Structure 1
């Protein structure tokens, strides 16, 4: 529940940032309404096509039960236990070890795993990873990400509009004659940055929730902790060149080689996630 509240608060912060920028910089201009509408429509289309876009970005290939019978049985068993339809299953070619879930709801979901993760994880750790991805589907985290992307996209679009007005003198219209150019410049620079920071923070809270859900679904928090540790080591040795737009989908930060600090991480640190899982394990042991 704590992570749910954090997510709600962060979504509210994104919305508040959008409203503040709209009120302070653009006011009630028709251009604002059109701009937000375009940004929202663009992200809405992306939301409905998110599974296809993400799967294509990673060149994921669909697999049938006959292609990977053991993996299919694992996904079917966990899906039945979670009381959701079995998602479509895909395998991403390559030796990098990662996994992700996509789709707008449990009825239109897909789970993708890399060839690398199938090769390095023992069965119980792979099961924990699959449970993590199914929890993302159960929690409708793709919906949360779509909402945050929509609002963040609208903020970036508005900032771009303000940038154009600074260059072409548009700030003299629609009641903005007295706008502070320095303030507008700061808005253009900082608003998209703030939106990205909040959007990434939302992604991090959803990872903690998915880890906790996987621990409850399998009853084996340590298996996921061990899987994350193994995946983290592998990612450092063999970074995955992921599309930045889809990095939040992956179970582990692909570590593209750029150090941007905690504010710009798509995932919580692996150490923090493992610590949280081991606390859940202690809670399960004490409740027996």
Structure 2
């Protein structure tokens, strides 16, 4: 419940940021509502098409039970244990070891693993990784990320719209638009804050999915070992991917960390392992 509350609080903070900008800086102009509508429509489309977009981005290919019998049976067994419908099973032809889940709800979901992860993980660790992804599906984390992206997108759009108004004649709302500190906060700080909150939501969902995997498998140490192995491999063979899809993956696909913890899509592996080992006590 702690992670659920934290996620709700972060979503509320994003919403509050959006409302504050709309009220104090832009006001109730038609342009504000048009901007929010565009951002919401764009993200809503992305949510409904999230499985197709993500799978296509990584070149994932669906496999049948005949084509990958061991993997398919493992996903089916864990899905039944988690009381979930059987998702689509996909393999990404990449030497990088990683995995992700996508889809707008449990009835429209897919689990994808790379060829690299199939090559390096023993069975118990692969089970733990798949259970982690199934927990994302059960928790509807794709929906949570879509809502966060919608609000953050609206905040960024409003900041961009105000920036344009500065360059092309100033705000139409003379009472609200003339505040220089408000303009700076909207154009620069508000989108930055929205991004930080959005990434914090992503990190929170990873802890919840790790705990869910431990419940499904009854073996938190297997996931802890898998995460350590995956991070070591990621440093050697970083995954080339669109940063927009990075929150989907079980582990940060890039070997370098340039922006510190605020801009991480995932908690550190050390933090995740510590949390898993506490579950085993």
Query: Number of matched residues?
Result: 281
C-alpha change, 1:161 and 1:234, in structure 2 (3 Å) is: same
In the TM superposition, residue 180 of structure 1 has moved relative to its aligned partner by: 1.7
In the TM superposition, residue 54 of structure 1 has moved relative to its aligned partner by: 0.5
In the TM superposition, residue 178 of structure 1 has moved relative to its aligned partner by: 5.9
| Paired position in structure 1 for 2:165 | 165
How far apart in 2 are the matches of 1:157 and 1:243?
A: 21
Q: Matches of residues 73-222 of structure 1 in structure 2 within 5 Å?
A: 73-171=73-171, 173-176=172-175, 179-222=178-221
| Paired position in structure 1 for 2:249 | 250
How far apart in 2 are the matches of 1:217 and 1:194?
A: 35
| Paired position in structure 1 for 2:50 | 50
| Paired position in structure 2 for 1:286 | none
TM-score, with length taken from structure 2: 0.98
How far apart in 1 are the matches of 2:13 and 2:185?
A: 18
C-alpha change, 1:48 and 1:124, in structure 2 (3 Å) is: same
Cα displacement string for residues 255-282 of structure 1 (whole angstroms, at most 9, x for unaligned residues): 2534210000000000000000000011
How far apart in 1 are the matches of 2:267 and 2:170?
A: 41
Asked if residue 236 in structure 1 is aligned to residue 232 in structure 2, the reply is no
Runs of 5+ in structure 1 lacking a partner? 283-288
Q: Do 1:208 and 1:273's aligned partners in 2 also have CA atoms closer than 8 Å?
A: yes
Asked if residue 17 in structure 1 is aligned to residue 17 in structure 2, the reply is yes
How far apart in 2 are the matches of 1:76 and 1:229?
A: 25
- Note the aligned Cα RMSD (angstroms): 1.0
Q: Do 1:27 and 1:175's aligned partners in 2 also have CA atoms closer than 8 Å?
A: no
C-alpha change, 1:30 and 1:256, in structure 2 (3 Å) is: farther
How far apart in 2 are the matches of 1:185 and 1:94?
A: 43
In the TM superposition, residue 238 of structure 1 has moved relative to its aligned partner by: 1.1
Q: Do 2:54 and 2:245's aligned partners in 1 also have CA atoms closer than 8 Å?
A: yes
Q: Do 1:242 and 1:256's aligned partners in 2 also have CA atoms closer than 8 Å?
A: no
TM-score, with length taken from structure 1: 0.96
Cα displacement string for residues 206-242 of structure 1 (whole angstroms, at most 9, x for unaligned residues): 0000000000000000000000000010001111112
C-alpha change, 1:135 and 1:178, in structure 2 (3 Å) is: closer
SS where residue 253 of structure 1 aligns? Answer: coil
SS where residue 110 of structure 1 aligns? Answer: strand
Runs of 5+ in structure 2 lacking a partner? none
C-alpha change, 1:258 and 1:222, in structure 2 (3 Å) is: closer
C-alpha change, 1:177 and 1:108, in structure 2 (3 Å) is: closer
Asked if residue 264 in structure 1 is aligned to residue 251 in structure 2, the reply is no
C-alpha change, 1:177 and 1:133, in structure 2 (3 Å) is: closer
